[in-house]
Amino acid sequence: AVRLIDFSQFTFTDKQPSAHYVVQLADANASAKHWLHLDQYDNAYFVVFDLLDETNHKAYFKQNDAS
């Protein structure tokens, strides 16, 4: 996948994703659980976000041809 920098024109994120994944990050030293959320869309895009990130930033990616 390729990370996208300019995603201002995207409107598909207003719709429900085709799949939603939750990934727990493993850290033997951490007492709290850390989760990443991924929303996958049918148009080969996916969005990654971290609920613990107070800035509410999301990372946007487009799957490459090998995906």
Residue boundaries of the structural domains of the chain = 2-62
Distances from the Cα of 54 to the Cαs of 30, 42, 58, in angstroms?
19, 28, 11
47-65: average pLDDT:
84
pLDDT at residue 58, as a whole number: 87
The model's pTM: 0.74
For the chain, give the mean pLDDT: 84
User: What single string gives the DSSP state of each residue in 6-52?
Assistant: --TT--GGGSPPSEEEEEEEP-TT-SS-EEEEEEE-TTSEEEEEETT
